[in-house]
Amino acid sequence: AGGANDVAIDRFRAEVNTVGVQYAHSQVLVSSYFRAAVTRVAAARTAGGAGSRTWLYDFAFHSPVTGVAGHCMELPFAWDLLEAEGVEAQFGSTPPRALAEQMHSDWVAFIEGGAVCWLTAEEGGTGARRYNEVTSWDANAYLLESQLTNPRS
């Protein structure tokens, strides 16, 4: 798989198992085009001296309605707008309030202070703050995408 190691491939397989094998092709496209771009930008910013001012996050919460964590699905959580129109249709009647509070707090901290509480791209490599029902640092959040972009990583 383009130089990807076993850890990266196993993580990809686990994600496909979570969303369903019918989405395997879509997951390859998302990883190859969208998520790989994150690693390219982070690497370019780090190489250009801005890695200490670059942070990665990964919104990994799977909607109980759709079963996936899709494009822009983090926005009601980031802006703490779980009562907004359309949110219930996307996330059901009880989206996780704690996730919204955590993500919103992090975004406000970045907007107000220009920094967040997790490792920078310079320090954390392919790692990212992974937002899910339990938010944590994931040292390999973008490992597969980094290896697809640069097989030597």
Q: How remote is the C-alpha of 27 from its chain's centroid? A: 13
**Token pair for residue 65?**
């309605």
Kindly report, residue by residue over 33-57, the tens digit of the pLDDT: 888 899 999 999 999 999 999 999 9
* 3-state secondary structure labels for all residues of 34-51: HHHHHHHHHHHHHHCCCH
Q: How confident is the model over 97-119, as a mean pLDDT?
A: 97
**Token pair for residue 51?**
């890695």
Kindly report, residue by residue over 113-128, the tens digit of the pLDDT: 999 999 999 999 999 9
Cβ contacts of 140 within 8 Å, gap of 6 or more: 7, 8, 11, 126, 127
The pTM is what?
0.85
The pLDDT mean for the chain works out to 90
